[in-house]
Amino acid sequence: VLDYKVRVSNATCFTPDGRIMFFCDSPTRRVYAFDYDPRQGLTNRRLVYELPSDVDGVPDGAQCDADGCLWVALSGAGKVVRVSRTGGVDYVVELPVKCPTSVTFGGRNLDTLFITTRGPDGGSLYAVRAPPGVRGVPEVAYDDASPLLAGGAGGMVTAGA
């Protein structure tokens, strides 16, 4: 699936239906999507986002929202961007620090973005209201995938289930 040695693995997350996985090797400044099937693994690598050359930083942690759009922390650029399903950036969260490291959704309605940061000016957690209508999805917990691969139940389960 990867045709080179990975240096800094980041941005690994899945769409809500579990059929697309995102991945970034941060020094490349590119985020890829792969089709995912538990029986076949990852296939069909395609570029979904490349950090523009005039923007500092690298893609770091990421999370998908309920619409399957990708939210990526751009460490060194001081922002988090939402990459639409067509590949364009349709929302930007500007931060007062240079290095956001990851993003996830939380709150009662999963409509708050929680953004972690690192030093020297970071090391904090920011909470930002998501745009109207944008929601996260409940995190899943890992379960033994053996039954799923054999055609039975198993695989990913909703946390708390």
Active site residues: 60
10 Å CB burial of residue 95 (0-12, 13-18, 19+) is buried
10 Å CB burial of residue 20 (0-12, 13-18, 19+) is buried
Place of tokens 């500007």: 94
Query: How far is it, in rounded angstroms, from Cα 99 to Cα 57?
Result: 8
Place of tokens 């033994």: 144
Question: How many angstroms from the chain centroid is the CA of residue 116?
Answer: 13
